[in-house]
Structure 1
Amino acid sequence: MKTLIHRYGTPLTTGLFLVSAVSGVALFFRWQPAAFHLMHEWLSLALLVPFGLHLWKNWKPMVGYLKRKTLIIPLLASILVAVPFAVNGMMKSRGGSPGFRAMSVLTKAQLSDLAPILKASPEDLVARLRADGHKVDTAEATLEGVAASSGVRASELLFKLMPQRPATP
């Protein structure tokens, strides 16, 4: 076990820290968030294991930092920097991303209200949903209602009804 800790603790900590740093920077600048989000969350969580091994390996120097009180100021500074972000996050409404909020509004709208946005007539939307096998009584129905009775997600129905973009050459 001691060999494992000495051989892999610090290198794994370094490797996973670099992955966490690169993915964190990519997320900060919103560069390909879908590619980096899960990677950042899971591998940053996995970083805790080699970090624990690294601490175990370097326990005596860590105790020295504690005795000399040189660890206290960096830890307090880190906490002081982190607290405003946490407080700000807790104070905000839980609205989420604008895209998800818009999706919620659109799937709760009546088909008659949704039709102009989707560049179709209310009757066309009803006909298209019926042709796909969904039970729709009138254009006053909502995609949430249709989805609930059909056992599908409302967002799937909305995506099917959206006009197709022309292909770019």
Structure 2
Amino acid sequence: MKSLILKYATPLTATFFLVSLISGVSLFIHAGPGAMHGIHEWLSMVLVAPIMFHVLRNWRAFSSYFKHVPMVVAFGIASAATGLFFIPATVPTGSKDGPPQFALASVVLENSVASVAPILGKTPDTLVAELNAAGFPATPEARLSDLPAKSQKTDRDLLRALLP
């Protein structure tokens, strides 16, 4: 079994890396079939095992990289690039620069219960009753964005309550 793993560690790593690369680029440019997200996510997880076997097979050469400056610099660059994704976005609420679904939700929440009800296919009174049942102190004139704070809930809770 060990010789089989060592024999296929590098070819499997290279093959699954190519799948991950192609599916990742397809996702980035919004091309390819709808299955691309699942392909990328799951087969990238499958890639972990061949990488572990590849590192095990090449451990001595791999560990020697850590004795040189370029590997430390590469880790520093990768860590800094990764860290950038954890910095909160500075896009203002409702801005057209963020994800469109968030911008739409922000616009909807700035309106009154009565003005949003027809969009949801409901009467204002029906929507008020549903929101009150969900724990939001709603009136037809109430602005939706004010309701979460009054009920000690989140905007996310409110959006869920608005859904059918």
TM range (shorter): 0.5 to 0.7
The structural deviation recorded for 1:12 is: 1.8
1:77-115 Cα distance to aligned partner (Å, 9 max, x none): 432432443332222338773313422552574332326
Q: Percent identity?
A: 34
In structure 2, the residue matched to 1:161 is none
User: SS at 1:113's partner residue?
Assistant: helix
| Displacement over 4 Å in runs of 4+ | 63-67, 127-130, 133-138
Is the 2:9–2:53 Cα contact (8 Å) retained in structure 1? yes
- State which of 119, 122, 125 in structure 1 corresponds to 2:123: 125
Unaligned runs of 5+ in 1: 146-151, 158-169
Unaligned runs of 5+ in 2: 92-97, 133-137, 149-158
TM-score, length-scaled by structure 2: 0.58
Aligned length: 143
Instruction: Please give the residue correspondences for 1:19-168 in structure 2 after superposition, counting only pairs within 5 Å.
Output: 19-31=19-31, 35-63=35-63, 65=65, 69=68, 72-73=69-70, 75-93=71-89, 97-103=99-105, 105-106=107-108, 109-114=111-116, 118=119, 125-126=123-124, 139-140=140-141, 153-154=160-161, 156-157=163-164
Q: Which amino acid aligns with 1:126?
A: P
C-alpha change, 1:66 and 1:112, in structure 2 (3 Å) is closer
C-alpha change, 1:79 and 1:52, in structure 2 (3 Å) is same
C-alpha change, 1:135 and 1:106, in structure 2 (3 Å) is closer
**Inter-partner Cα distance in structure 2 for 1:20 and 1:111:** 45
TM-score, length-scaled by structure 1: 0.57
**Inter-partner Cα distance in structure 2 for 1:66 and 1:52:** 17
**Inter-partner Cα distance in structure 2 for 1:66 and 1:3:** 27
Matched, 1:10 2:10: yes
